[in-house]
Amino acid sequence: MIPLIIDCDPGIDDALALLLAAGSVEFELLAVTTVAGNRPVETTTANARRILDLAGREDVPVHAGCARPLGAAAPRCNLVHGEDGLCGARLPPTRAAAPGHAADLITATLMQSPPNTVTLVAVGPLTNLALAEIKTPGVLRRARSLVIMGGAAFCPGNITPAAEFNFHADPLAAHTVLAAGADVKLFGLDVTSKAAMSAEWIESLGALRTRCGTAAAAMLTAYAQADPLLHDACPVAWLLDPTLFAGQQCSVSVDWRAGPTEGQTLAWQEERMDKPFPPNARVFVDLRTDRVLELVRQRIARLP
Ligand code: RIB
Ligand code: CA
């Protein structure tokens, strides 16, 4: 069993990451934490609860987190996932969020568990993880790994030419987390831009004739019009089968300064790097798209 916390900003690809995790017995899903990102934190928190309850996982607590980035007065949201963050999926409202801030839940879980046991998957802006590290320096190093969807190490961004959405939404948080000395596995646009969904694959989810398959197919059909890439499922799929991905150790940092390069990922590959910049992240650059999509479909097929 892999003890796991997923920090997210649902968002439709976040929803698929949650469904993949909920349908996989390999995980002990300790909690889901939410952050402002695709939509305001009230919306992402309600969506996380809706998705978990759709999957029959009312047992997984959802803790709301930061409502805005570290260095800005308001979140940088988007409408790629629709006003409601789920492209109008109209899932029923559900239970309340669990008491306690996301950053404090992450800290308490890491402090109360033996070092190197709990894995953090982060697929939204990294504000909650950064706040945890600022409040309790060194806490992120207690995680087994930080498995992050974010950044664009060797390719253009998707929200500006230089930056990917999650790192651009809170560049100071991304800088803080990457500088924390934790074991980082980074799934940026370098690899997620290859996680392209086909219309046939989306239809195969609807063909499951389950409530989760039907909801996933409806959400993805709308989402794919704007962004046919399954970004956030990649970190969870890697945890299930690392052989489906390829990457290399790099020294990675994030430009947190305002301006045209704000949120840009700066990466030096280990073999081309002089010593002052020790490698601090495994940067993934390729995947077996067909196998990843089949893994996602199989695990969603296990859900109600
Ligand atoms: O750039 C893709 C990332 O931004 C994904 O996590 C998506 O959900 C959005 O948050
Ligand atoms: Ca996300």
Tokens of 104: 């404090």
**Ligand in nearest proximity to the CA of 160:** 1
Write out the residue range of the structural domain in which residue 228 sits.
2-301
Query: 3-class DSSP state for residue 6?
Result: strand
- Lateral strand order in the sheet of 27-34: 62-64, 27-34, 2-8, 119-122, 145-149, 184-187, 281-287, 245-254, 265-269
- Which helix (H) or strand (E) is 120 found in, with range? strand 119-122
The answer on pLDDT for 226 being more than 90 is no
pTM of the model: 0.97
Task: Give the Cα separation of 25 and 2 in Å (integer).
Answer: 9
For 19, 213, 248, the CA distances from 12, given in Å and listed in that order, are: 10, 13, 28
* pLDDT tens by residue, 254-274: 999 999 999 999 999 877 766
Could you tell me which residues are beta bridge partners of residue 250?
269, 281
The atom number, within ligand 1, closest to the CA of 37 reads: 10
Count of structural domains within the chain: 1
How far does the centroid of ligand 1 lie from the alpha carbon of residue 188, in Å? Answer: 10
* pLDDT tens by residue, 117-151: 999 999 999 999 999 999 999 999 999 999 999 99
Active site residue 231: yes
- Torsion-angle region of residue 209: left (phi > 0), alpha (psi -120 to 50) or beta? left
If we measure between CA atoms, which residue out of 174, 185, 175 comes closest to residue 144? 185
| Alpha-helical segments (H) within 68-120 | 102-112
Task: Give the Cα separation of 278 and 267 in Å (integer).
Answer: 11
| Protein residues whose CB sits closer than 6 Å to any atom of ligand 1 | 9, 11, 13-14, 37-38, 123-124, 149, 158, 164-166, 231-232
CB distance 240 to 279 below 8 Å: no
Q: Which of 63, 81, 175, 231 is catalytic?
A: 231
How far does the centroid of ligand 1 lie from the alpha carbon of residue 229, in Å? Answer: 10
Compute the residue count for the chain: 304
Query: 3-class DSSP state for residue 213?
Result: helix
The atom number, within ligand 1, closest to the CA of 81 reads: 8
Task: Give the Cα separation of 106 and 122 in Å (integer).
Answer: 11
* pLDDT tens by residue, 75-109: 999 988 999 999 888 888 788 999 999 999 999 99
CATH of the domain at 148: 3.90.245.10
How far does the centroid of ligand 2 lie from the alpha carbon of residue 264, in Å? Answer: 17
- For a pocket test of ligand 1, which of 6, 9, 193 has the largest count of ligand atoms closer than 8 A to its C-beta? 9
User: How high is the pLDDT of residue 94?
Assistant: 82
The atom number, within ligand 1, closest to the CA of 125 reads: 10
How far does the centroid of ligand 2 lie from the alpha carbon of residue 12, in Å? Answer: 8
